[in-house]
Amino acid sequence: MTLCSFLKLDPAYRDYVWGGEKLRPGFNPTAEAWVVWEEDTIHAGPLAGLTLGEAAARYGGTLLGARPVSRTGTRFPLLIKLLDCAQWLSLQVHPDDKLALELEGPGQFGKTEAWHILEAEPGAKLIAGFQPNTSAETVAEAIRNQTIIEHVRYAAVGQGDTVFMPAGTLHALGPGLLVYEVQQTSDWTYRVYDWGRPQTEKRPLHIEKSIRATRPDFTAPIVPMPAYGDGTSHTLVGCDYFTLDLLSASTQPIDLDTRGESFHAITVIEGKASLMADGERVDLERFQTAVVPASLGAYRFEPQVACRALKSSV
């Protein structure tokens, strides 16, 4: 069976304390838009009303592609978010697959992720790893006594930068950042330090789990935006769990093909674009997302105005 329709998704929102108002003006704070998530609802077309997870369970490799099914079965394998950081996020770390199984139980996945910086105010920065020669013993002691912030590595970032964050990397996003985040289909987050905010049932610290998960030797590099032209595609990140590509077009379309290997998740980050294939068409404005089923095959990314989009696949 072939799925011949683009799946435009309705995002889900999270109103955490550190959020702003860029993602949903008038609703402040809105911290995150979950634009590709297994609980997102399909907006229109023959699968309208189903969640992405229900569609994946029903259509399996037809939707997901051969590569995701061989790794995670019929569970939708990625979670993609937009984050509006008006304050520091908690300092946190994610488990890898092995530790997620051990600490969280059967069927759980780790969380390797990548960030692409959509907007950055002057002086914006993030935390990614530790200062040189920080030992595991120092990390464990500092997490327990809440002095970990004395040992982290701060990094300045700007629009277009990309950060690959393997599970085990201690990290935090700072104020003034708007970020696209792609990750494994997991949201296991171990909170290490929360900038003096009071612990609550919804925002506890995870001291011992954090110590188990944190890799003192992991420091994520900051990769600047590649040079791009009209009608071009550039790979920003490639790893065992996902590939992240930047699509850039002002007048020239980009021809793409799933080849049955993996779905494509397209999020427009600037301008407007259309996805087109065999009479099927979906229009996307800034921050809107559509999933291209793996069985659809060849399709076209057509700019309506100068635009850029991010494409995630497995």
Structural domain contains residue 286? yes
pLDDT at 4: 79
State the Cα–Cα distance between residues 265 and 31, nearest whole angstrom: 21
Q: Are 256 and 262 in contact (CB under 8 A)?
A: no
Structural domain contains residue 2? no
3-state secondary structure of 58: helix
Residues 28 and 99 in one domain: yes
Q: Of 204, 223, 242, at which residue does a domain stop?
A: 223
Among 94, 92, 96, 100, which residue's Cα sits nearest to residue 148? 92
Residues 238 and 101 in one domain: no
Structural domain contains residue 48? yes
Task: List the chain residues with pLDDT less than 70.
Answer: 1-2
* Domain range for 95: 7-223
Q: How many domains does the chain have?
A: 2
Domain containing residue 264: CATH number: 2.60.120.10
pTM of the model: 0.96
Is residue 35 packed enough to be buried (19+ CB in 10 Å), middle (13-18) or exposed (0-12)?
buried
H or E stretch including 145? helix 136-145
Give the list of residues 6+ apart from residue 117 with CB closer than 8 angstroms, or none.
157, 158, 159, 160, 161, 162, 163, 177, 178, 179
Residues 239 and 266 in one domain: yes
Residue 278 one-letter amino acid: D
Residues 139 and 260 in one domain: no
Q: Are 276 and 297 in contact (CB under 8 A)?
A: no
pLDDT at 279: 86
Among 276, 271, 303, which residue's Cα sits nearest to residue 287? 271
Structural domain contains residue 295? yes
Residues 54 and 12 in one domain: yes
Residues 173 and 98 in one domain: yes
Residues 109 and 198 in one domain: yes
Structural domain contains residue 1? no
pLDDT at 2: 65
Name the token pair of 309: 């989009």
Structural domain contains residue 290? yes
